[in-house]
Amino acid sequence: MQSLVMGLGRAGAGLHLPVLAKARACDPQLFGSQDVVACDPRWTQPHRPGLVATTSIGAAVGGLDPASTVVHICTPPTERHAVIAELAELGFRNMIVEKPLTSDADDLARIIRVRRKHRLHIEVVEPWLTSTLTRRLIELTRSGLFGAPKSITIVQNKPRFRRSFAAPGHPTAFDVELPHGVALALRLAGAARVTHAAGADLEVDGQFSARMGGAKVGLRHNSGVYTEISSDLTCPVRERRITIDFANGSAVGHFAVSDDDDHSQLTLRANGRSERLVLRDDSLTEWMIQVYRKFQAGGEQTRGFNFAAEVVQLLSVAKNICAEPVVPAARTENNRVVVAHHAG
């Protein structure tokens, strides 16, 4: 199958192209030998071997067969509905969309209508769901080894100053890291409702970005489990950590924090003892291969899309809780970072 990448920013050029290269090397028969085609009106980078880059959709799709092409939608969340609709009208049916599927409930409804009209097969990027660490956590939760799960805490921190100021493609901090965390919580503990949410602005040396300092959301699952998810985009260190507290023990998992490494870690604690495991975990490459196999098999699939839509709906509720005007509530001692919280 051939690949068309729409958008060559951080997601397209920094993630999808390298992962496609690894996936194509792992399964050349699945992906074929054709060059990857990409489209971005701002494309100014030098030529890359194996990549045909254009600045218009018309030029990008000229030599492609829609039936055997997978489109990677890597544009900002606010632009995805328009791109999906245009490509659907051109006959493309198999689409991979970067997370989140979209940034609000209105655009979600529009995408749902386009998907139904054109019978699209849409898969939303969610490598944590194919992660080796996630599989271990699911097994642990279902086994009852430590008793019933009581609470889940997910922390997704990283410094994101330059990108937040220079190219605000994500409307809020809820759209950056939290889609991974919400999807993971739903996979581990089932359906949920939002209990509370908080957001923060970002301000450094006179530069300001609304709602991009960080975000928090609390979930109450139908299973009785409570989840707290937080993301600090001003944190000096990168961390993607999950803690599950069980009746008789706990599990602390660390996902890989970047594409520099492909290992995760898991620490199990119970009865005063601790065990630490290091896991090979190239989850995004594995996710990509699995999705291309789904496309090759054909047929309209709804499970993954409906799951991604549920994530958007929960995050939309959380963002609505924080929708009132942001007023700086506190600053750090050096007057650099605003921390303005809202709770519902």
Task: Read off the pLDDT of each residue in 99-122 and give the average, rounded to a whole number.
Answer: 94
From the list 88, 297, 327, the residue with the least C-alpha distance to 210 is 327
Q: Is 257 exposed, middle or buried (0-12, 13-18, 19+ CB in 10 A)?
A: middle
- Contact assessment for residue 213 and residue 200, using Cβ atoms and an 8 Å cutoff: yes
185 has pLDDT over 90:
yes
> Considering the chain, what percentage of its residues have pLDDT values greater than 90?
73
Distance between CA 339 and CA 45 in Å, rounded? 37
How far does Cα 335 stand from its chain's mean position?
32
Rounded to the nearest 10°, the torsion over CA 306, 9, 284, 32 is: 100
Fold of 2-125: Rossmann fold (3.40.50)
Tokens in use for 154? 């997910």
- Distance, in Å, from the CA atom of 173 to the CA atom of 337, rounded to the nearest integer, reads 15
Query: Rounded to an integer, what distance in angstroms lies between the CA atom of residue 210 and that of residue 197?
Result: 16
* Cβ-count burial 298-330 (b if 16+ within 10 Å, e if not): eeeeeebbebbbbbbebbbebbebbeeebeeee
Which fold is adopted by the domain 128-282+302-321? Dihydrodipicolinate Reductase; domain 2 (3.30.360)
pLDDT digits (tens, 9 = 90+) for 285-341: 999 999 999 999 986 678 889 999 999 999 999 999 987 544 443 333 333 333 333
22 pLDDT exceeds 60? yes
Going across the sheet that includes 121-124, the strands are: 51-54, 36-39, 2-6, 69-73, 94-97, 121-124
Paired with 218 in beta bridges are 196, 228
Average pLDDT over residues 235-262: 93
Judged on CB neighbours under 10 Å (0-12, 13-18, 19+), 193 is: exposed
- Give the chain's mean pLDDT: 89
- CA–CA dist 37, 50 (Å, integer): 9
Separation CA 261–CA 270 (nearest Å): 29
User: Does 203 have pLDDT greater than 60?
Assistant: yes
- Residue 167 pLDDT > 70: no
Q: Nearest Cα to 284, choosing from 64, 123, 44?
A: 123
pTM of this structure: 0.89
Beta-bridged to residue 154, according to DSSP, are: 229, 242
The domain locations on the chain are 2-125, 128-282+302-321
Please give the torsion angle defined by the CA atoms of residues 4, 258, 263 and 192, in that order, rounded to the nearest 10 degrees.
-80
146 within 8 A of 246, measured Cβ to Cβ: yes
218, 194 Cβ separation under 8 angstroms: yes
Query: In 3-state terms, what secondary structure has residue 238?
Result: strand
CA 52/CA 73 separation, integer angstroms: 16
What is the reported pLDDT for 342? 37
